[in-house]
Structure 1
Amino acid sequence: MAKAASLADELYGKLKADIMSGAILPGSKLPSQKDIADSEDVSRTVVREAVARLEAQGYAVSRQGSGVYVSEGARYRAFQVTREELTELSDIIKLLEMRLAIETEMAGLAAARRDQDDVVAMRLALKRMRDASDDSAASALADTQFHMAVARATKNDYFVRFIDFLGVRLVPPRSLYLRDQPELAHADYACKVHGEHEAVLSAIVRMDIAGAREAARQHMMESLMRHSELSDAIGTADAAG
């Protein structure tokens, strides 16, 4: 069973790579399960599982009585960030590196284009974050709401859609960073993160574009540095053990 699952994983990866590279074009019909099984020297069970995964991920669509076809928008489904991927520090660090550039420019645009409703929404999110400092889940939700308010202030729907797509993945889980640290460490962490957000809001309120960019960049750099240092510490401890 494990071998079949491994073969299905390999076949799924190969078919997906062919779709993403354009070797199998959008809208084109996939070979029959028998043909794939013969060409790849695997069982039809393996093929069925691999093709089912392609369909589940949106890369292919089954048409009754006709066969399985590559989705027209398959190549635009490549970017995904699932919650399951963000259980390790290394994955969180990768996401923070990407957000560093995005959040910096997003804050600058928000400072240039924000209106009073945007400011009210940001302030409300920060109040919720401060009030929930001892509740990591509620604090993370308020943190996400703050970034969504900044995204809306850009008046660029693509920023809004991107931040909405990340959702709770936007905020690295405090429990992963602090692990077995005492409650005082959690309180200090919440206070520091809140202060970083306050700096972003202050610049946006003043419509200080350069200041907003710098505050957002500093916030992301601090988060990236915190998690990178923890990753290094864990790696050192594991090596010593």
Structure 2
Amino acid sequence: MAKTVSLADALFMKLEAQIRSGDMAPGTRMPTQKDIAEQQRVSRTVVREAMARLEAQGLTVARQGSGVFVSNDAAFQAFQIARHEITELADIVRLLEVRLSVEAEMAAFAAARRTLDDIAAMRGALHDMAAVADDAVASAAADTRLHMAIARATQNDTFVKLIEFLGVRLVPPRSLYLRNQPPHAQQAYVEKVRAEHEAIVDAIVRMNPAGARDAARHHMQESLSRHTELSQTMNLLSRN
């Protein structure tokens, strides 16, 4: 299934790529909105939206009476994953590949450093996941709280910031994986994911870093395998 990208999204990504690659060097004056609209054959409204996003992300800066210029710090802007970049299974697979190693080590650090308060937070999130298992949105929110509790248990604020940054991108939407699946398949999926999470928390509670690392890696690998297989299947179907 092809990803739907708005004209503004497409233009933003094109201009962003030119800036980050150095094709538009720091200090370069950007073409006027009129010129961009004519060159790209889009409306001025599309250009305004794309340009506003470039400025909001610090990639460009407007100078009164002079125009818009590529920021001198454009090459050093923070890594970002926008919501519109995580809409299809292929996007989720790419993010899961990155999370695989991060989540495993995060769990190991959590097992070595967790406190009683951390245990209570993790168990509370597990309880909430079970209580709202039939509600995909609420379950995803509880899932995110569990990962946040594990991040806090590392006593490392960088892990916490990373999980906060991922936010809604952290938990793949269940609907993408379970689309067109019967109720019994959905229930089996929920129970499997819950068991994987419980194994991670159990190892953290027992202060077993190696066990926590293995459990977290297993969970992420299973999720990666599930979504990769489905993505490949859907790609094949879309070609037929």
TM (norm. structure 2) is 0.82
| 17-26 vs 153-162, greater mean Cα deviation | 17-26
| 63-72 vs 207-216, greater mean Cα deviation | 63-72
Deviations along 1:118-166, one digit per CA (max 9) or x if unpaired, are: 1111110010001111111000000000000111111111111111111
- Verify the 8 A CA contact 1:177 1:230 in the aligned structure 2: yes
Deviation at 1:58, TM superposition (A): 2.8
In structure 2, what is the Cα distance between the partners aligned to 1:8 and 1:236? 26
- Verify the 8 A CA contact 1:29 1:69 in the aligned structure 2: yes
Unaligned runs of 5+ in 2: 1-5
Report SS of the residue matched to 1:87: coil
- Verify the 8 A CA contact 1:122 1:146 in the aligned structure 2: yes
Unaligned runs of 5+ in 1: none
Q: Residues 159-238 of structure 1 correspond to what in structure 2 (within 5 A)?
A: 159-238=159-238
- Verify the 8 A CA contact 1:85 1:91 in the aligned structure 2: yes
In the superposition, relative to structure 1, how do residues 65 and 204 fare at CA in structure 2: closer, same or farther (>3 Å)? same
State the match for 2:104 in structure 1.
104
Q: Residues 117-156 of structure 1 correspond to what in structure 2 (within 5 A)?
A: 117-156=117-156
- Verify the 8 A CA contact 2:110 2:150 in the aligned structure 1: yes
| 225-234 vs 112-121, greater mean Cα deviation | 225-234
Deviation at 1:181, TM superposition (A): 1.4
Report SS of the residue matched to 1:180: coil
Deviation at 1:206, TM superposition (A): 1.0
In structure 2, what is the Cα distance between the partners aligned to 1:232 and 1:8? 25
In structure 2, what is the Cα distance between the partners aligned to 1:31 and 1:140? 41
In structure 2, what is the Cα distance between the partners aligned to 1:112 and 1:179? 39
Deviations along 1:90-145, one digit per CA (max 9) or x if unpaired, are: 11111110100110111111111111111111110010001111111000000000
Greater radius of gyration (CA)? 1
Deviation at 1:196, TM superposition (A): 0.3
Identity %: 55
